[in-house]
């Protein structure tokens, strides 16, 4: 996709409320990091009280995935998850507008040598991630040290889309934004030896998925990880990110490549991907995006879970 370009149409009065909101957010995000964390937790508490639909989805997901966990502990995990989601709102703004050097001080990156080695060998990389609430700031921090391409879906509001893309791409000047449905471009980029951020942990429906267990529940799991790795002749590097306690910044970990992937079948690969997703989530479950209806698509004959 072409780089975002400012257009005079963005100054139309219908966009003024959004520009005002973005301006206020820019002012707030100039506060110290610790203050933003506290504000984020406050916003998360407000969301917990008001966002009833999202709260019910997250509650159901936690019941399904952690049935042995005491109910009181699940409620506490739910509240911490909303706090993490509130913090993510300000992390998004930090990643868009904080000076690069100020943001970089928060990064603790491990395993970058796996990306560097693949690049030196001209090897395409699928950076296999999951949808943590730290997604936005994690991508910005990693993008400062290595070029990472990404799948992209255009926002319906053109002003927000412009601000978001410009904020993201300033950390990754050589990066390419690939439309999520553009499989041909994805494969071309991988064959060119580039790295692409990709998360296979959401429910995209029955058409492009197989069922594989996730936390013991049959989940519609996309087969695209296998297809991209095979057609793009790429390796898969699992990638995790975590917000550290007490304002300690963020730990980004690039794990060693999956061996013998793709495997014997797409079914076996989907199972392997889900096993890794489980392992990643349990390291910091309060930071995962539980508000997504991960088990929406059911195998034939199974009742709905939401």
Please state, rounded to an integer, the average pLDDT across all residues of the chain: 94
Residue 186 placed within a domain = yes
Q: What is the pLDDT of residues 72-111, one digit of tens each?
A: 999 999 999 999 999 999 999 999 999 999 999 999 999 9
Helix (H) or strand (E) holding 32: none
pLDDT band with cut points at 50, 70 and 90 for residue 171: confident
Q: What's the rounded mean pLDDT across residues 241-245?
A: 97
* Closest C-alpha to 198, from 150, 148, 261: 150
Helix (H) or strand (E) holding 50: helix 33-50
pTM of the model: 0.93
pLDDT value of position 173 = 66
Range in 129-138, 172-181, 274-283 with the lowest mean pLDDT: 172-181
Pairing state between β 217-222 and 209-214? antiparallel
Token pair 């004959």 is at which residue? 301
Give per-residue burial for 93-105: e unless 16+ CB within 10 Å, then b: bbbbbbeeeebbe
For 33, 40, 86, the CA distances from 44, given in Å and listed in that order, are 16, 6, 4
Cβ–Cβ < 8 Å for 295, 217: yes
Residue 294 placed within a domain = no
Length of the chain in terms of residues written: 306
To 10 degrees, what angle do helices 71-97 and 135-143 make? 40
Q: Extract the tokens encoding 3.
A: 């780089």
Residues 125, 200, 63, 77, CA torsion sign: positive
pLDDT tops 90 at residue 14: yes
For 92, 146, 159, 161, 239, the CA distances from 12, given in Å and listed in that order, are 25, 37, 10, 15, 41
Q: What is the pLDDT of residues 143-167, one digit of tens each?
A: 999 988 887 778 889 999 899 888 8
Find out whether the peptide bond into 9 is cis, omega within 30 degrees of 0. Answer: no
Q: What is the pLDDT of residues 181-192, one digit of tens each?
A: 788 888 999 999
Alpha helices in the chain (DSSP H): 16-28, 33-50, 52-65, 71-97, 100-104, 112-120, 135-143, 158-169, 183-191, 224-231, 266-283
pLDDT value of position 2 = 67
Residue 30 placed within a domain = yes
Residue 247 placed within a domain = yes
Cβ–Cβ < 8 Å for 37, 28: no
* Closest C-alpha to 83, from 109, 111, 46: 46
Q: What is the pLDDT of residues 279-303, one digit of tens each?
A: 999 999 999 999 999 999 999 999 9
Residue 303 placed within a domain = no
Residue 237 placed within a domain = yes
Instruction: Please give the backbone phi and psi of residue 271, each rounded to the nearest 5 degrees, phi first.
Output: -60, -45
Instruction: Please give the backbone phi and psi of residue 296, each rounded to the nearest 5 degrees, phi first.
Output: -65, -50
Count up the domains in the chain and report the number: 1
Residue 85 placed within a domain = yes
C-alpha 174, offset from chain centre = 20
With a CB cutoff of 8 Å and minimum separation 6, the contacts of 199 are 128, 129, 130, 131, 135
Q: Give the domain range for residue 79.
A: 16-287
Residue 5 placed within a domain = no
Give dist(CA 158, CA 161) in Å, integer.
Answer: 5
């Amino acid at each position: 996709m072409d780089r975002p370009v400012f257009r005079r149409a963005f100054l139309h009065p219908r966009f003024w409320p959004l520009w005002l909101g973005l301006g206020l957010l820019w002012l707030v995000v100039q506060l110290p990091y610790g203050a933003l964390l506290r504000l984020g937790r406050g916003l998360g508490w407000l969301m917990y009280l008001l966002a009833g639909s999202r709260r019910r989805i997250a509650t159901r997901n936690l019941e399904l995935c952690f049935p042995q966990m005491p109910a009181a502990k699940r409620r506490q995990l739910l509240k911490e998850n909303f706090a993490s989601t509130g913090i993510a709102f300000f992390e998004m703004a930090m990643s868009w507008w904080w000076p690069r050097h100020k943001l970089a001080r928060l990064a603790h990156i491990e395993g970058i040598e796996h990306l560097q080695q693949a690049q030196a060998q001209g090897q395409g990389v699928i950076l296999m991630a999951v949808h943590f609430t730290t997604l936005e700031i994690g991508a910005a921090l990693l993008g400062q040290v290595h070029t990472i391409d990404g799948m992209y879906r255009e926002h319906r509001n053109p002003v927000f889309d412009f601000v978001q893309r410009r904020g993201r791409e300033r950390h990754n000047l050589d990066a390419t934004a690939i439309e999520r449905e553009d499989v041909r471009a994805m494969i071309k980029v991988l064959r060119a030896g580039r790295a692409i951020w990709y998360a296979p942990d959401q429910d995209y429906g029955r058409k492009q998925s197989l069922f594989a267990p996730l936390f013991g529940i049959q989940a519609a799991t996309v087969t695209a990880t296998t297809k991209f790795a095979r057609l793009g002749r790429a390796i898969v590097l699992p990638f995790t990110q975590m917000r550290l306690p007490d304002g300690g910044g963020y730990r980004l970990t690039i794990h060693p490549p999956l061996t013998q992937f793709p495997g014997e079948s797409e079914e076996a690969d989907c199972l392997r991907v889900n096993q890794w997703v489980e392992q990643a989530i349990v390291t910091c479950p309060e930071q995962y995006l539980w508000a997504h209806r991960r088990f929406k698509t059911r195998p034939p004959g199974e009742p709905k879970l939401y």
